[in-house]
Amino acid sequence: MQVNAKTLNDTLYISLVGELDENSAGFVRENLDRDFSNTFCKQVILDLSNLSFMDSTGIGVLIGRYKKLKEKNIPIFLSNPSNHIDKILKMTAIYEIMPKLN
Amino acid sequence: MKYLNHLHLKFDALSINEGFARSAVAAFCVGLSPTLDDITDIKTAVSEAVTNCVVHAYPNGFGKIEIFVGLGKDFVDIEIKDNGVGIEDLEQARQPFFTTKPTEERAGMGFTVMESFMNDLKLSHNQSGGLKVFMTKKLQPKNLMASKTQNG
């Protein structure tokens, strides 16, 4: 599992690479929280194009990160989920709090 | 015989085994030439059930998970069981967003995902009191190899 972050203008881009499940959740959570605490960005875009697998443990991780960013009034967006991850995200209504970018 | 082929796995209830479990079950099902969508649905449902065992079944941290897979002509039966503490109210556990660990950032969507990705989901307790999850996936008639060839 990899969490790759870069800042461009006022946006923090984070790419998740690999499989997000119970085994990698702690690593992803820690890395995202560190990136969030070090940032002065105005928005976060989470790129899921290289996330090859995610189950509902990932939903818990995403909701947790949304709450942390909300405290700082920073919106977060999701981009490029695979069909199967898109299905899980829709099922759990995540896009209502983290809209999907087209 | 109900099944054409069987698989039986037994392994430690550790999160590091989740990737192995879902990949092993998926690889075993490839013999039926499922679509990639069906394989991903199966992988996700297995991952949810195994995660439940890892997170909830053994509060002391030690225990085993057993997986049985039976392949029929056009369906897959998967049973995932543990010898852990079980679930007091199975109906409540199946409700979307229900979790017994709200402080741990858990979505409470495991059984909902299993139910949506598979065609049938039954929960029961085995003799030891642990949880038994029984799921069936009816496979789409499309051939995996054919779709690969079409894509070049």
What pLDDT score was predicted for residue B152? 42
What pLDDT score was predicted for residue B146? 52
Q: What is the mean pLDDT of residues A55-70?
A: 96
pLDDT band at residue B47, thresholds of 50, 70 and 90? very high
Domain boundaries of chain A, sorted by first residue: 2-101
Considering only CB atoms, which chain A residues are within 8 Å of B51? 21-22, 55-57
Burial of residue A62 (number of CB atoms within 10 Å: 0-12, 13-18, 19+): buried
Res B143 pLDDT > 60? no
B52 noted as active-site residue:
yes
Considering only CB atoms, which chain B residues are within 8 Å of A21? 15, 18-19, 47, 51
Q: Say which CATH topology domain B5-150 has.
A: Heat Shock Protein 90 (3.30.565)
Res B105 pLDDT > 60? yes
Query: What is the average pLDDT value for chain B, to the nearest integer?
Result: 91
- Residue B101 has φ and ψ, to the nearest 5°, of -125, 65
pLDDT band at residue B73, thresholds of 50, 70 and 90? very high
Q: Which helix (H) or strand (E) holds A2?
A: strand A2-8
Contact B81, B132 (CB under 8 A): yes
pLDDT band at residue B70, thresholds of 50, 70 and 90? very high
B106 noted as active-site residue:
yes
Q: Which of B106, B115, B126, B143 is catalytic?
A: B106
- Choose, out of B11, B12, B15, the residue to mutate when testing the contact with A (most A CBs < 10 Å): B15
What pLDDT score was predicted for residue B2? 86
Q: Where are the alpha helices (DSSP H) in B4-123?
A: 18-29, 36-52, 90-93, 110-117
Res B151 pLDDT > 60? no
Q: What is the mean pLDDT of residues A21-32?
A: 97
Location of structure tokens 């030439």: B33
**Which tokens belong to A38?**
């070090």
| Percentage of chain A lying above the pLDDT 90 cut | 96
The CATH architecture one would assign to domain A2-101 is 2-Layer Sandwich (3.30)
pLDDT band at residue B141, thresholds of 50, 70 and 90? confident
What pLDDT score was predicted for residue B142? 64
What pLDDT score was predicted for residue A61? 97
What pLDDT score was predicted for residue B144? 46
- Choose, out of B47, B48, B137, the residue to mutate when testing the contact with A (most A CBs < 10 Å): B47
Q: What is the mean pLDDT of residues B17-39?
A: 96
ipTM of the complex: 0.93
pLDDT band at residue A39, thresholds of 50, 70 and 90? confident
A102 vs B85, which has greater pLDDT? B85
Query: What is the average pLDDT value for chain A, to the nearest integer?
Result: 96
